[in-house]
Amino acid sequence: MSARPTGPAAGSHGPDATAAAASASPAELRRRTEEFLAAHPPADTGRTDFLRARFDAGLAWVHYPEGLGGLGAPRALQAVVDTALEAAGAPDNDPRRIGIGLGMAAPTLLAYGTEEQKRRFLRPLWVGEEVWCQLFSEPGAGSDLAALGTRAVREEATGDWIVDGQKVWTSSAHVARWAILVARTDPALPKHQGITYFLCDMTDPGVEVRPLRQITGEAEFNEVFLTGVRIPDAHRLGAVGQGWEVARTTLMNERVSIGGMRLPREGGMIAPVAALWRERPELRTHALHERLLELWVDAEVARLTAERLRQQLAAGRPGPEGSGMKLSFARLNQEISGLEVELRGEEGLLYDDWTMRRPDLVDFTGRGAGYRYLRSKGNSIEGGTSEILLNIVAERVLGLPAEPRDDKDLPWKDLAR
């Protein structure tokens, strides 16, 4: 079984490091942001109008090209804009709700999309008017994603692609308007070569979304059945057969977006445990104190490492460091939420609500300790399992020998399934 990939994607290109980038300074960006705020006072501007105008002014993601929500400026300068807008009480685009679009679809569209695709999709994606989901995993093709069997067959008369297959664990499919989708277009080629990447309209009548209930009781992800789904060739991303390379860009960005969220000091999962420790001295023991301190330090190290990773990204492209980050994030979330449940004793065994819900975001801190404990189990699976990420670190960072991959050169149709 071969691992979901990482490493720089050939053919992808990062933000435009041109003259425009060189001329954008923090002072210049601050001035632009102030001008923007004067023209669009948050108090008098509707949320969507404000966000659309922000995109059009190039202040959405400053490192994207002009006309596509950015200014071609260094990515690190985004903080200048965000800080000024936040201080002015401006609405944000709710990145947690649209995380797959922002963290995965957008960078892939930027790297491989045609001009038309970028113009069509990036603005509603960033504003949050169109939510995205990721149709990658299948029963039998998770860690070994390249083994996927969903078929896309080209219709000679129209050039459209007709897609049939099943996807699984699709977060947010129930609220998504668009999906990034990988499908097999040539079963006679080895598994990594016969794959093509598409943008799939989730409102197509051939798309059926069925909830999958999780250990937490809620159904945040889904099974998705694709039956005769018609995708126009204009919604193909990258060349026919280039899907694996395109998917690598998505997956590398996925790990960074899961593990590398921007947090304040003592933010995220450590926050409720530290608060509990301060508020409830009767729960404390020396041994728990030692563990809390260790985890607090680890959480701070992870937070600063994520910051460094983001700065590194500003200068280039995501690499295997994103896998290390995601690994630590999963381990820490599980250990911290475990400590919280333990600290609460019997009370920690209570669960807040088993009602089946269809949430449109994962809200770790908005629910109880039991929820955090159960939901964090998925952290070491989603976006690539910890075992796979360890393989990646072993091979790409430590330079250890690669796993044997005997099936790499066999035609997909001849693989044992």
Ligand X SMILES: Cc1cc2nc3c(=O)[nH]c(=O)nc-3n(C[C@H](O)[C@H](O)[C@H](O)COP(=O)(O)OP(=O)(O)OC[C@H]3O[C@@H](n4cnc5c(N)ncnc54)[C@H](O)[C@@H]3O)c2cc1C
Contact flag: residue 388 with ligand X (CB under 6 A): yes
Query: Residue 112 in contact with residue 104, Cβ under 8 Å?
Result: no
Q: Where are the alpha helices (DSSP H) in 58-182?
A: 78-87, 99-100, 106-112, 115-127
Catalytic annotation, pick one of 254, 300, 307, 342: 254
DSSP-based three-state secondary structure for 314 = helix
Query: Would you say 33 or 333 has its CB closer to ligand X?
Result: 333
Q: For the CB of residue 261, give the shortest distance to ligand X in the complex, in Å.
A: 16
CA 91 to chain CA mean position, Å: 21
Side-chain-facing half-sphere of 188: CA atoms under 13 Å: 0
Query: Would you say 50 or 169 has its CB closer to ligand X?
Result: 169
Query: How many residues touch ligand X (CB under 6 A)?
Result: 22
Which of 132, 169, 277, 364 lies at the binding interface for ligand X (CB under 6 A)?
Answer: 169
Say which DSSP state 301 is in: H
Contact region with ligand X (CB under 6 A), list: 11-19, 164-172, 298-306, 309-317: 164-172
Contact region with ligand X (CB under 6 A), list: 37-45, 185-193, 277-285, 385-393: 385-393
Contact track, ligand X, 395-414, x by CB under 6 A? --------x-----------
Q: For the CB of residue 221, give the shortest distance to ligand X in the complex, in Å.
A: 5
- In whole angstroms, how far apart are CA 6 and each of 146, 247, 300, 318, 329? 13, 10, 26, 9, 17
Contact flag: residue 221 with ligand X (CB under 6 A): yes
Q: For the CB of residue 128, give the shortest distance to ligand X in the complex, in Å.
A: 17
Which of 33, 78, 171, 242 lies at the binding interface for ligand X (CB under 6 A)?
Answer: 171
Query: Would you say 29 or 258 has its CB closer to ligand X?
Result: 258
Query: Would you say 4 or 75 has its CB closer to ligand X?
Result: 4
- In whole angstroms, how far apart are CA 148 and each of 138, 143, 197, 243, 415? 7, 10, 12, 12, 11
Q: At 219, list the tokens.
A: 């159904």
DSSP-based three-state secondary structure for 184 = strand
Closest residue to ligand X, Cβ-based?
A: 142
Query: Residue 111 in contact with residue 253, Cβ under 8 Å?
Result: no
Amino acid at 296: W
CA nearest to 111, candidates 236, 15, 17: 15
Contact flag: residue 134 with ligand X (CB under 6 A): yes
Partners of 64 in the beta sheet? none
Which of 57, 381, 393, 415 lies at the binding interface for ligand X (CB under 6 A)?
Answer: 381
Which of 170, 193, 250, 376 lies at the binding interface for ligand X (CB under 6 A)?
Answer: 170
138 included as an active-site residue: no
Q: For the CB of residue 33, give the shortest distance to ligand X in the complex, in Å.
A: 33
- Alpha carbons 111 and 122: distance in angstroms, whole number: 12
Contact flag: residue 166 with ligand X (CB under 6 A): no
Amino acid at 227: T
Tell me which residues touch ligand X (CB under 6 A).
1, 3, 133-134, 136-137, 142-143, 169-171, 221, 378, 381-385, 387-388, 391, 403
